[in-house]
């Protein structure tokens, strides 16, 4: 199976489904406890229920913009169907969220066109601690399992431990890591990585970057420099600029998404740490608000805990 087949993969294995369901447990718990409270003693969906529902969505990190769209859709539905029983509310909410997400911009993974880039170059960006390096390790594992030759570039040279951490992932997964000493020029590491990927005929090159520098402007400038050096080796590279966001930070993740998408040409998102957070609703807000597809979700720290994001599957799991 090649790169393209991996990206085409759609069937959710029972194990992955279980990991997703389990990963969303806390989000579900918080969400449905609040909804149950909102409809207690009510038989039909009225103004008051809708007001409470709005609050439930906002406090579940769906975000104000997306919440208002969802409420508007439910209001329309109430106006159309006249009486909606509160027992139907969950089902209706699920349908409306799914339709809202389906209407938006981005396709899910299965429809992605990757072309025949070799090497396919992925540059991974995001603030410190969001899970960039871990996501790279997990992704490398998935790609390798699918039969691809993968190389990792340790272009986070800011922290001493960063180079060691990605090397460790390289060993775990069994893929090559290109690294230089701490403090060396990240753009030079990226250049070396891609040049050697070409020489070795590797299929995918994934470049790690620093999440923190002396200040934000320095970080953004450096990312631009790393990005620009890549196309000198492979025209069109990086093919993917993957922004990693920590879902457990809720609205901060939305804020980071705004900032990074303004500063760099992010064209894919990964949302990590969905397990262990009640803020999973942020995934709905992000997939609604940004014209950039959520491609991956992280549902644990383990090597297998990375999944392709599928809007319908995600919402189904949330409402299970
Ligand atoms: N529970 C959980 N933890 C995760 C997930 N993804 C990453 N982590 C953890 O988050 C922590 C930070 O992850 P890193 O991959 O080091 O983050 P980073 O973005 O590379 O951080 P910097 O290199 O400091 O910029 C680690 O302890 C990871 O194990 C996830 O999906 N679920
Ligand atoms: Mg890192």
Q: Residue 208 Cα, ligand 1 centroid: separation in angstroms?
A: 13
Q: How high is the pLDDT of residue 4? A: 47
Which among 131, 163, 249 is the best mutation to test ligand 1's pocket, defined by most ligand atoms within 8 Å of the CB? 131
Q: Indicate if the pLDDT at residue 186 is higher than 50.
A: yes
Q: How high is the pLDDT of residue 115? A: 58
Contacts of 176-184 with CB under 8 Å at 24 or more apart are 176/150, 176/151, 176/152, 176/200, 176/202, 177/151, 177/152, 177/153, 178/151, 178/152, 178/153, 178/154, 179/153, 179/154, 180/154, 181/157, 182/157, 182/158, 183/157, 183/158, 184/157
Rg of the chain over Cα atoms, rounded to whole angstroms, equals 21
Of all protein residues, the one whose alpha carbon is nearest to atom 30 of ligand 1 is 273
Over residues 204-234, the pLDDT tens digits come to 999 999 988 777 888 889 999 999 999 999 9
- Which of 307, 214, 226, 223 has the alpha carbon at shortest distance from 263? 223
Strand segments (E) across 247-292: 268-272
Over residues 255-289, the pLDDT tens digits come to 999 999 988 999 999 999 999 899 999 999 999 99
| Residue 150 main-chain phi, psi, to 5 deg | -120, 145
Q: How high is the pLDDT of residue 212? A: 80
**DSSP H or E run through 65:** helix 64-81
Indicate which ligand has the atom closest to the C-alpha of 211. 1
- Which of 80, 73, 74 has the alpha carbon at shortest distance from 39? 74
Task: Give the DSSP letter of residue 28.
Answer: H
Q: Indicate if the pLDDT at residue 170 is higher than 50.
A: yes
Q: What gap in Å lies between CA 184 and CA 207, rounded to an integer?
A: 15
Q: Check: CB of residue 69 under 8 Å from CB of residue 102.
A: no
Question: Mean pLDDT, to the nearest integer, of 61-66?
Answer: 93
Exposure string (b/e) for 229-252, b if CB count within 10 Å is 16 or more?
bbeebbeebbbbbbbbbbbbbbeb
Band of the pLDDT at 1, cuts 50, 70, 90? very low
For residue 309, how many other CB atoms are within 10 A of its CB?
Answer: 21
- Which of 145, 246, 244 has the alpha carbon at shortest distance from 204? 145
Which among 25, 129, 137, 277 is the best mutation to test ligand 1's pocket, defined by most ligand atoms within 8 Å of the CB? 129
Q: Residue 183 Cα, ligand 2 centroid: separation in angstroms?
A: 14
Over residues 95-153, the pLDDT tens digits come to 999 999 888 756 655 533 455 788 999 999 999 999 999 999 999 999 998 889 999 99
Q: What gap in Å lies between CA 202 and CA 194, rounded to an integer?
A: 9
The token pair that represents 312 in the structure block: 């319908």
Please give the annotated binding residues for GTP, written as ranges: 126-133, 208-212, 272-275
Which among 125, 169, 301, 306 is the best mutation to test ligand 1's pocket, defined by most ligand atoms within 8 Å of the CB? 301
Strand segments (E) across 210-267: 240-246
Q: Which atom of ligand 1 is nearest to the CA of 136?
A: 15
Over residues 2-52, the pLDDT tens digits come to 454 454 445 678 888 999 999 999 999 988 888 888 888 888 999 999 999
Q: Residue 38 Cα, ligand 2 centroid: separation in angstroms?
A: 41
Q: How high is the pLDDT of residue 8? A: 47
Please give the annotated binding residues, written as ranges: 126-133, 208-212, 272-275
Q: Indicate if the pLDDT at residue 290 is higher than 80.
A: yes
């Amino acid at each position: 199976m090649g790169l393209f087949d991996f990206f085409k993969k759609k069937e959710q294995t029972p194990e992955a489904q279980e990991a997703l369901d389990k990963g969303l447990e806390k989000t579900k718990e918080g969400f449905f406890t609040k909804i149950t409270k909102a409809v207690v003693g009510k038989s039909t969906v009225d103004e008051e229920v809708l007001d409470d529902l709005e609050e439930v969505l906002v406090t579940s990190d769906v975000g104000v913009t997306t919440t208002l769209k969802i409420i508007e859709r439910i209001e329309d539905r109430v106006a159309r169907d006249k009486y909606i029983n509160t027992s139907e509310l969950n089902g209706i909410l699920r349908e409306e969220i799914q339709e809202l997400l389906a209407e938006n911009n981005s396709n899910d993974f299965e429809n992605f066109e990757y072309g025949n880039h070799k090497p396919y170059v992925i540059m991974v960006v995001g603030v410190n601690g969001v899970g960039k390096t871990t996501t790279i390790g997990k992704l490398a594992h998935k790609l390798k399992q699918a039969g691809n030759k993968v190389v990792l570039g340790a272009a986070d040279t800011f922290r001493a431990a960063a180079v060691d951490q990605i090397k460790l992932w390289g060993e775990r997964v069994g893929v090559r890591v290109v690294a230089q000493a701490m403090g060396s020029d990240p753009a030079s590491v990226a250049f070396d990585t891609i040049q050697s990927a070409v020489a070795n005929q590797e299929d995918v090159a994934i470049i790690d970057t620093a999440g923190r520098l002396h200040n934000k402007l320095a970080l953004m400038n450096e990312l631009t420099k790393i990005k620009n050096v890549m196309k000198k080796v492979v025209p069109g590279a990086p093919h993917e600029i993957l922004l990693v966001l920590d879902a457990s930070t809720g609205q901060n993740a939305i804020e980071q998404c705004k900032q990074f998408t303004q500063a760099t040409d992010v064209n894919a998102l990964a949302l990590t740490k969905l397990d262990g957070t009640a803020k999973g609703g942020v995934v709905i807000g992000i997939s609604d608000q940004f014209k950039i597809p959520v491609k991956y979700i992280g549902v644990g720290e383990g090597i297998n805990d990375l999944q392709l994001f599928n809007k319908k599957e995600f919402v189904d799991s949330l409402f299970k």
